[in-house]
């Protein structure tokens, strides 16, 4: 297969995580054009001969950067309109666009990039920074044959889950896009509760954080679902049962989480409007 020409628009946190993964992927034969206005943090990427970094599209065009097979859109949603206006000869009719921006729909992009532009929409999350993200991927009909390449590009930052209905993206954002923050809050809340229960702060923090990472790893490793893992550590009349009586009350964690996820989904819909 010929070398794939990939342009990455925006090389911040997510863009850098993806680029690191792409450069480490021995099965990916690609050349990269990176468009990033403040590239001081990208010294590590300049060392790779298949990477060319430009401060904007004009600089890339002036330097003769080639037409892209795929342009990955990794700028903040509020920058997107301005950022995608200047591709010029960096794209042609066959160029596909892979967006990871929250709330930016394929129809919004097609209005600006052309009705026939192949567009793929993905929603990653922050554990992508250590290759442990989960990314939902939606391919519109015009981009169906690019799903394998998009999956390869996104797999470098974690697992990829295909979705066949773009309308699910708001709920995906509310569960996995924003989800790491819920778990970070859980670590904070357990630490605070440990201090209230009499533990020194440093010890409470260490115990809470190790418990959450350990329990996460156990979910990943175990065959049983989380509900069974929970039951396995809950003896009748014991300490865990006492805590779960509180957490599983009608106004407990499930109803709180439901309200939180609904709020995030509603906000995602608003941002995409
Ligand atoms: N971080 C997450 O957890 C997460 C999760 C899911 C989805 N996403 C999506 O991923 C995208 C990137 O997020 P991020 O966290 O990586 O943001 P980020 O760190 O701010 O990265 C965006 C980068 O794009 C650069 N940029 C701004 N305008 C540009 C332009 N016109 N052309 C090229 N590059 C430009 C920014 O430079 P300056 O900093 O100089 O402006 C910045 O380096 C967002 O759309 C976000 O919705 C992020």
pLDDT of 20:
94
pLDDT of 142:
82
Per-residue pLDDT of 175-197, as tens digits, reads 999 999 999 999 999 999 999 99
Residue in the block written with tokens 């106004």: 251
Question: From atom 40 of ligand 1, which residue's Cα is the shortest distance away?
Answer: 38
Q: What's the average model confidence in pLDDT over 62-75?
A: 96
Do β-strands 119-123 and 133-139 pair in parallel, antiparallel, or remain unpaired?
A: antiparallel
Quick check: CB of 179 below 6 Å from ligand 1? no
pTM of the model: 0.90
Q: Does the pLDDT value for residue 200 go beyond 80?
A: yes
Cα–Cα distance, 251 to 182 (Å, whole number): 17
> Which residue segments constitute the domains of the chain, with CATH numbers given?
4-169 (3.40.50.720), 179-272 (1.10.3730.10)
Quick check: CB of 151 below 6 Å from ligand 1? no
Confidence class for position 169, pLDDT limits 50, 70, 90: very high
Per-residue pLDDT of 249-264, as tens digits, reads 999 999 999 999 999 9
Quick check: CB of 172 below 6 Å from ligand 1? no
Q: pLDDT averaged over the chain?
A: 94
Quick check: CB of 40 below 6 Å from ligand 1? no
Quick check: CB of 15 below 6 Å from ligand 1? yes
Question: From atom 5 of ligand 1, which residue's Cα is the shortest distance away?
Answer: 125
Quick check: CB of 34 below 6 Å from ligand 1? no
Quick check: CB of 119 below 6 Å from ligand 1? no
Residues of the chain above pLDDT 90, percent:
89
Quick check: CB of 177 below 6 Å from ligand 1? yes
Would you tell me how many other CB atoms lie within 10 Å of the CB of residue 127? 18
Quick check: CB of 18 below 6 Å from ligand 1? no
Confidence class for position 270, pLDDT limits 50, 70, 90: confident
73 CA to middle of ligand 1, Å? 9
* Mutational test site, ligand 1, from 19, 79, 104, 123, max ligand atoms within 8 Å of CB: 79
74 CA to middle of ligand 1, Å? 5
11 CA to middle of ligand 1, Å? 7
pLDDT of 1:
64
pLDDT of 136:
98
Do β-strands 70-73 and 4-9 pair in parallel, antiparallel, or remain unpaired?
A: parallel
Q: Does the pLDDT value for residue 273 go beyond 80?
A: no
Q: Does the pLDDT value for residue 143 go beyond 90?
A: no
Spatial strand order in the sheet of 158-162: 51-54, 30-35, 4-9, 70-73, 96-99, 119-123, 133-139, 158-162
pLDDT of 144:
86
């Amino acid at each position: 297969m010929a070398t794939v020409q990939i342009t990455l628009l925006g090389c911040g946190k997510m863009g850098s995580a993806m680029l690191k993964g792409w450069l480490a992927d021995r099965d990916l034969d690609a050349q990269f054009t990176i468009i990033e206005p403040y590239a001081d943090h990208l010294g590590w990427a300049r060392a790779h001969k298949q990477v060319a970094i430009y401060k904007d599209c004009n600089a890339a065009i002036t330097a003769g950067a080639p037409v892209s097979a795929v342009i990955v859109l990794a700028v903040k949603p509020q920058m997107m309109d301005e950022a995608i206006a200047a591709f010029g000869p960096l794209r042609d009719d066959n160029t596909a666009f892979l967006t990871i921006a929250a709330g930016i729909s394929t129809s919004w992009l097609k209005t600006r990039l052309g009705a026939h532009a192949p567009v793929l929409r993905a929603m990653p999350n922050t554990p992508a920074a250590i290759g442990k993200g989960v990314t939902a991927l939606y391919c519109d009909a015009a981009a169906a044959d690019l799903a394998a390449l998009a999956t390869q590009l996104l797999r470098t930052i974690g697992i990829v889950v295909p979705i066949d209905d773009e309308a699910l993206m708001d709920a995906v954002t509310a569960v996995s896009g924003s989800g790491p923050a819920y778990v970070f809050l859980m670590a904070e809340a357990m630490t605070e509760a440990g201090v209230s229960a009499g533990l020194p702060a440093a010890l409470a923090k260490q115990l809470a954080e190790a418990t959450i990472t350990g329990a996460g790893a156990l979910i990943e490793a175990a065959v049983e679902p989380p509900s069974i893992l929970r039951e396995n550590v809950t003896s009748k009349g014991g300490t865990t049962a006492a805590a779960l009586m509180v957490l599983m009350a009608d106004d407990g964690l499930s109803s709180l989480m439901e309200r939180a996820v609904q709020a995030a989904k509603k906000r995602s819909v608003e941002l995409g409007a």
